[in-house]
Amino acid sequence: MNEKYGKILAVDDNEDILFSLKLLLKNHVELIHTEMNPDRIPGLMERENFDVILLDMNFTKDMIGGQEGFFWLDKILSIDPSAVVIFITAYGDVERAVKAIKAGAVDFVLKPWQNAKLLATVSSALKLRGSLVEADKLRFSRNELCKTLDQPFHDFIGDSAEMHKVFNTIMKVASTDANILILGENGTGKELVARALHRNSARRNEVFLSVDLGAISETLFESELFGHMKGSFTDAKKDKPGRFEVASGGTLFLDEIGNLSLPLQSKLLTVIEKREVIRVGSNKPIPVNVRLICATNMPIYQMAKEGKFRQDILYRINTVEITLPLLRDRIDDVEILAEHFLQQFVHKYKKNIKGISSAALKKLRQYSWPGNVRELQHAVERAVILSESKILQVNDFMLKTPQSVNDEGTLGTYNIEDVERDVIRRALRKNNGNISQAAKELGLTRASLYRRLEKYEI
Q: What is the pLDDT of residues 237-296, one digit of tens each?
A: 888 899 999 999 999 999 999 999 999 999 999 999 999 999 999 989 999 999 999 999
Q: Is the pLDDT at 365 greater than 50, yes or no?
A: yes
pLDDT tier, 452 (very low <50, low <70, confident <90, very high otherwise): confident
**May I ask the CATH architecture of the domain 150-323?**
3-Layer(aba) Sandwich (3.40)
Q: Would you say 16 and 37 are in contact if contact means Cβ atoms under 8 Å apart? A: no
Q: Which residue has the higher pLDDT, 434 or 289?
A: 289
pLDDT for 2 equals 53
Q: Is the pLDDT at 200 greater than 70, yes or no?
A: yes
Angstrom distances, CA of residue 49 to CA of 9, 53, 81, 136, 445: 10, 10, 13, 15, 74
Please state which CATH number belongs to domain 7-139: 3.40.50.2300
β-strands 180-183, 240-241 pairing: unpaired
For domain 416-455, give the fold: Arc Repressor Mutant, subunit A (1.10.10)
Give CA 258 to chain center in angstroms: 22
Same fold? 7-139, 150-323: yes
The chain-wide mean pLDDT, for the chain, equals 85
Q: Would you say 426 and 387 are in contact if contact means Cβ atoms under 8 Å apart? A: no
pLDDT for 158 equals 86
- Can you tell me the distance from the alpha carbon of 448 to that of 445, in angstroms, rounded to the nearest whole number? 5
CA 90, 92, 98 angle in degrees (round to 5)?
85
String of b and e for 90-109 (b: at least 16 CB within 10 Å)? beebeebbeebeeeebbbbb
Q: What is the dihedral of CA 20, 23, 27, 32, to 10 degrees?
A: 70
> Mean pLDDT across the stretch 313-322?
94
Q: Would you say 35 and 76 are in contact if contact means Cβ atoms under 8 Å apart? A: no
Q: Locate the domains of the chain by residue range.
A: 7-139, 150-323, 327-396, 416-455
Q: What is the DSSP string of 156-171?
A: ----SHHHHHHHHHHH
String of b and e for 226-240 (b: at least 16 CB within 10 Å)? bbbbeebeeebeeeb
> Mean pLDDT across the stretch 59-63?
57
How many residues make up the chain in this entry? 458
pLDDT tier, 141 (very low <50, low <70, confident <90, very high otherwise): low
pLDDT tier, 140 (very low <50, low <70, confident <90, very high otherwise): low
β-strands 85-90, 180-183 pairing: unpaired
Q: Would you say 384 and 349 are in contact if contact means Cβ atoms under 8 Å apart? A: yes
Q: Is the pLDDT at 401 greater than 70, yes or no?
A: no
- Can you tell me the distance from the alpha carbon of 382 to that of 115, in angstroms, rounded to the nearest whole number? 65
Sign (positive or negative) of CA dihedral 253, 257, 260, 262: positive
pLDDT > 70 fraction of the chain, expressed in percent and rounded: 88
Q: Is the pLDDT at 149 greater than 50, yes or no?
A: no
Q: Is the pLDDT at 220 greater than 80, yes or no?
A: yes
- Can you tell me the distance from the alpha carbon of 456 to that of 454, in angstroms, rounded to the nearest whole number? 6
Using only C-alpha atoms, the chain has a radius of gyration, in whole angstroms, of 31
Q: Which of 50-54, 230-234, 273-277, 414-418 has the lowest mean pLDDT?
A: 414-418
CATH of 327-396, one of 1.10.8.60, 3.20.20.70, 3.40.50.2020, 3.40.190.10: 1.10.8.60
Q: Is the pLDDT at 406 greater than 50, yes or no?
A: no
Dihedrals φ, ψ of 2, to 5°? Answer: -80, -40
pLDDT tier, 408 (very low <50, low <70, confident <90, very high otherwise): very low
pLDDT > 90 fraction of the chain, expressed in percent and rounded: 55
